[in-house]
Amino acid sequence: MVAGLATFMAKFLERQFSLTASLANMVIGAVNIPGAMVGIVVGGAILKRFQMSLRQCSAMCVLGMFLCLLLAFPLLFLGCPTQKVAGVTYSESSDFGHHAMECNLHCNCPEKAYNPICGSNAIEYISPCTAGCRAVNVNADNNLVLNYTNCSCISENGLEGFAKPGTCGTSCSHLFLPFVVLSCLAGILASTSHTPSFMLILRSIQPEDKSFAVGIQFMLLRVLAWMPGPVLYGSAIDTTCILWEKKCDRKAACRYYDNNLFRQRYLGLQFFFEVGAFLCFVTVYVILRRQEKEASNAAETKADPEKEKLAGNSTKSPESKV
């Protein structure tokens, strides 16, 4: 889970809510990471305050992951739809690709052109050329483009429209704050199981084997999580791309993603691993509870000589009469 969050969470926020790279990383650094730290500290404080047994530690892990799942599930539905991009995700005619729409056939737009603009019709275009724009207004002071005009592919009330440089952004920015709050709370609850789960390992093995067990644990974390994790998440994200930039006839960077598919596969993978962690903690809790019950029964039998005698007699095979 952490491998996927650390590597691709910023990219997810950028694409899903049309954030800048700096703002997306700032949100992660200011909200998600401190939230995880708070969860670890709170988990350790609760463990120390109540002097929890092994079974209680596992119960705390189960509760933390269960509450995390309850908060993480709505995240699968909090996000923005894929933006309208002419010839990519939106087309008035299915007969033309993104570089060969009927309104810009005379422009001979290059295949590699990528300079996104937002039309006055709220539709995004890959470049001014694909929008059929024939004029540009530039700020005389700093030579920055103000807008593009006389765009044959942008029509408003039968007239040629205009476009502004840059992407159109998103119309669901109001979902960003609930998403951040829920993801932060889910991270806090998941992190509360960090210290109890570590104590489960230390208390379940012989003292002379503790250092070896901790080494094995961190080795498995790197081999089974940190190494394949980014590859697995990256492969899942790549399957949601709908327009690739190509260099030397090979895929380079993805220009546009299917936002709904991106959200479902990225967060769905996170949710899958969280469910796996929850089931593992439940299994540990059941095993420890059974062991605790067996130990309690054995102690009661040993404390009562009559029960111990009866238990001993029940194990003997009956003698056959001659």
**pLDDT tens digit string along 35-73?**
999 999 999 999 999 989 889 999 999 999 999 999 999
Which residues pair with residue 247 across a beta bridge?
Answer: 250
Cα separation values, 189 from 34, 294, 304, Å: 13, 31, 44
**Model's pTM, two decimal places?**
0.82
Closest CA to 255 of 263, 245, 265: 245
Q: Are 237 and 262 in contact (CB under 8 A)?
A: yes
pLDDT digits (tens, 9 = 90+) for 238-258: 999 998 888 877 888 888 999
Query: CA 317, CA 41: separation in Å to the nearest integer?
Result: 57
Same domain for 258 and 279, yes or no, is yes
Same domain for 76 and 222, yes or no, is yes
Q: Are 17 and 166 in contact (CB under 8 A)?
A: no
pLDDT at 228: 86
Q: How many domains does the chain have?
A: 2
Determine, yes or no, domain membership for 311: no
pLDDT digits (tens, 9 = 90+) for 5-20: 778 899 999 989 888 8
Letter for the amino acid at 283?
A: T
Determine, yes or no, domain membership for 144: yes
Supply φ then ψ for residue 321, to 5 degrees: -85, 140
Query: CA 107, CA 123: separation in Å to the nearest integer?
Result: 19
For the domain that residue 241 is a member of, what is the CATH number? 1.20.1250.20
Number of helices (H) and strands (E) in the chain: give both, helices first. 10, 7
pLDDT digits (tens, 9 = 90+) for 93-136: 544 445 556 777 777 888 778 889 998 888 899 888 888 888 88
Please report which confidence band the pLDDT of residue 312 belongs to, taking 50, 70 and 90 as the band edges.
Answer: low
Query: CA 34, CA 41: separation in Å to the nearest integer?
Result: 11
Q: Are 149 and 137 in contact (CB under 8 A)?
A: yes
Residue 16: both structure tokens together: 């899903």
Same domain for 251 and 115, yes or no, is no
Same domain for 183 and 151, yes or no, is no
pLDDT at 92: 60
Mean pLDDT within 145-158: 81
* End-of-domain residue from the set 135, 165, 195: 165
Same domain for 114 and 202, yes or no, is no
pLDDT at 195: 92
pLDDT digits (tens, 9 = 90+) for 255-306: 899 999 999 999 999 999 999 999 999 999 999 999 888 888 887 777 665 5
The answer for residues whose C-beta is within 8 angstroms of residue 234's C-beta and 6 or more apart is 7, 8
Residue in the structure block whose two tokens are 């990471």: 33
Same domain for 10 and 121, yes or no, is no
Determine, yes or no, domain membership for 212: yes
Same domain for 223 and 239, yes or no, is yes
Residue 239: both structure tokens together: 């399957």
pLDDT at 306: 58
Same domain for 141 and 182, yes or no, is no
Cα separation values, 295 from 280, 287, 288, Å: 23, 12, 10
Same domain for 121 and 207, yes or no, is no
Same domain for 177 and 159, yes or no, is no
Domain that holds residue 126: 102-165
Please report which confidence band the pLDDT of residue 77 belongs to, taking 50, 70 and 90 as the band edges.
Answer: very high
Same domain for 108 and 177, yes or no, is no
